Amino acid sequence: MERAVAATGSNEDTARPEAPRTHVGRFAAIAAAVVILDQITKALVRGWLDERETWPEGFDLIRISHVENSGAAFGILQGGGPFLIASSILGAVIVLVFLRAAPPGDRLYETALALVLGGAIGNLIDRVFRGTVTDFIDPTHYPAFNIADSSIVVGVIALAVLSLWRPHGQEDAGETAGGETGDGAEELG
């Protein structure tokens, strides 16, 4: 097979199509947008309401309440700062590992991972610099939460739906149209 030398001096096959790549810029922009929105809303709540203050008073469906949480979701592990910081860092690393293993070009999967990472970083910033996480979205009969928490939950649910929704083998980038895997063995079933 004849090789063509591109203007860049690369000696790659011109007939070989490029595999879709992870959209790192898009992934980073989504994660950064979550972090920025999370931090801005928390700062607004801290500046607007005193701790434990609620607005509007007497509204029973959902309110804005300034809650400082030194624990995890639903107030568990109160005072578990170092453990929660380490868990957040580990979670962020795991998200990056999943991103690296993501099906090439799968924007929904990448977006879900970006939501989880952005949420984890948003709450990590609070834990490291404030010692607590500011929660403010306060449904009356449910624990208060924030944008980062919402982002993590939406991302995790999306990942679960994507993993259940896709037909078996669809995410396998090594599979060819002829039903063969990249190693030459035919797929059974």
Looking at 38, 106, 138, 149, which residue is catalytic?
149
- What's the first-to-final CA gap in the chain, in angstroms? 35
- 172 tagged catalytic: no
Report residue 42 CA to chain centroid gap: 19
Locate tokens 């500011």: which residue? 134
Instruction: Say which of 126, 135, 138, 172 is annotated catalytic.
Output: 135
Known catalytic membership, residue 106:
no
Residue 17: count other Cβ atoms within 10 Å of its Cβ. 7
**Contact call for residues 31 and 121 (beta carbons, < 8 A):** yes
Bridge-based pairing state of the strands 54-55 and 62-69: antiparallel
Angstrom distances, CA of residue 29 to CA of 1, 8, 32, 42: 41, 29, 5, 20
Q: Which residues are catalytic?
A: 135, 149
